């Protein structure tokens, strides 16, 4: 059976001091929850503090991006090796905000994914359609194409360390949520694409999250869908009570 993974994406929020107090507050609230994996993906400068604060708890720490080169002249970038050395376990790759504001393409998302996997990180690979694509009725084609391009050259063995996060761009930070049926249908399309690429067993094993205005009020219904195996949560992951309620909804 595939694992349910509830992950927070803090985006550009929280200082190291706020990180320490947040995790200190959250840890006892989610202690003993073993039906899902709990991950917080935090800004680079917060990672060391987060890893330290999460020691001995069931909270895992991730980064929000990673560069594809091992080292070199890439001012401002962070390598997978650097992340591993400070105790990072997960990394988000291909978030729509990276694609929209920082020129990420499926080609660079693919390179970053490969570099992260090679270093031993678990990847949360984000993809999803923009509003115009949904309105044009090409959502299935878009997510299927992204899945193929982003996973190009990644082996079946490596795929075991990949989680796919389906995040319809029009639902991110907007308060608009895909209906459970819409989200389930599109996650199903992604799963079928994985089946076509890697076979049925791999498709049944891969964790596919939904992300986009998931919160304490709508999580249970979304997580009850057969093709939704967790959530990637933005705004609601910044409030310990709300994030805990989503973890509880996954039980
Ligand atoms: P919100 O939950 O704030 O809509 O953000 C979703 C997201 O982008 C998670 O990666």
Determine the pLDDT at residue 175. 85
Assess whether 167 carries a catalytic annotation: yes
Determine the pLDDT at residue 1. 80
40 lines ligand 1 (CB under 6 A): no
Shortest CA distance to 206 belongs to which of 4, 8, 64? 4
98 lines ligand 1 (CB under 6 A): no
For residue 231, the cross-strand partners are: 6, 210
User: Cβ distance 188 to 227 under 8 Å?
Assistant: yes
User: Cβ distance 93 to 116 under 8 Å?
Assistant: yes
Q: What is the pLDDT of residues 115-140, one digit of tens each?
A: 999 999 999 999 999 999 999 999 99
H-type alpha helices, 151-211: 156-159, 180-198, 200-205
How far is the C-alpha of 121 from the C-alpha of 90, rounded, in Å? 5
What is the maximal distance between C-alpha atoms in the chain?
A: 48
9 lines ligand 1 (CB under 6 A): yes
Q: What is the pLDDT of residues 6-32, one digit of tens each?
A: 999 999 999 999 999 999 999 999 999
Q: What is the pLDDT of residues 58-78, one digit of tens each?
A: 999 999 999 999 999 999 999
Q: Please state the atom number of ligand 1 nearest to the C-alpha of residue 173.
A: 4
CA of 72 to the centre of ligand 1 (A): 31
Assess whether 181 carries a catalytic annotation: no
214 lines ligand 1 (CB under 6 A): yes
Residue ranges with strand state E in 78-234: 90-93, 122-127, 162-166, 208-211, 230-233
CA of 211 to the centre of ligand 1 (A): 6
Residue partners of 128: CB distance under 8 A and separation at least 6: 96, 143, 146, 166, 167, 168, 169, 186, 211, 212
61 lines ligand 1 (CB under 6 A): no
Which element (helix H / strand E) includes 228? none
Q: Which of 95, 104, 129, 133 is catalytic?
A: 95
Checking if the pLDDT of 218 tops 90, the result is yes
Determine the pLDDT at residue 59. 98
Determine the pLDDT at residue 177. 86
Determine the pLDDT at residue 10. 98
Q: Please state the atom number of ligand 1 nearest to the C-alpha of residue 126.
A: 10
pTM metric for this prediction: 0.98
């Amino acid at each position: 059976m595939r694992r349910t993974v509830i992950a927070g994406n803090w985006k550009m929020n929280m200082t190291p001091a706020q990180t320490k107090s947040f995790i200190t507050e959250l840890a006892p609230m989610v202690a003993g929850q073993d039906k899902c994996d709990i991950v917080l993906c935090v800004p680079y400068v917060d990672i060391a503090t987060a890893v330290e604060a999460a020691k001995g708890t069931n909270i895992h720490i991730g980064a929000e991006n990673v560069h594809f080169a091992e080292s070199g002249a890439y001012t401002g970038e962070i390598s997978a090796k650097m992340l591993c050395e400070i105790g990072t376990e997960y990394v988000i790759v291909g978030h729509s905000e990276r694609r929209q504001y920082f020129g990420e393409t499926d080609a660079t998302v693919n390179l970053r994914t490969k570099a992260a996997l090679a270093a031993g990180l678990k990847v949360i690979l984000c993809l999803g359609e923009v509003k115009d694509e949904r309105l044009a009725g090409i959502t299935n084609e878009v997510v299927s194409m992204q899945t193929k391009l982003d996973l190009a050259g990644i082996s079946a063995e490596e795929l075991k360390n990949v989680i796919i996060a389906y995040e319809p761009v029009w639902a991110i930070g907007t308060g608009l949520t895909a209906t459970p049926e819409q989200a389930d249908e599109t996650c199903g399309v992604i799963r079928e694409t994985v089946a076509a690429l890697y076979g049925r067993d791999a498709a049944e094993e891969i964790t596919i999250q939904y992300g986009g205005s998931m919160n304490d009020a709508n999580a249970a219904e979304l997580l009850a869908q057969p093709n939704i195996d967790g959530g990637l949560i933005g705004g609601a992951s910044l409030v310990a009570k709300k994030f805990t309620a989503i973890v509880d909804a996954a039980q």
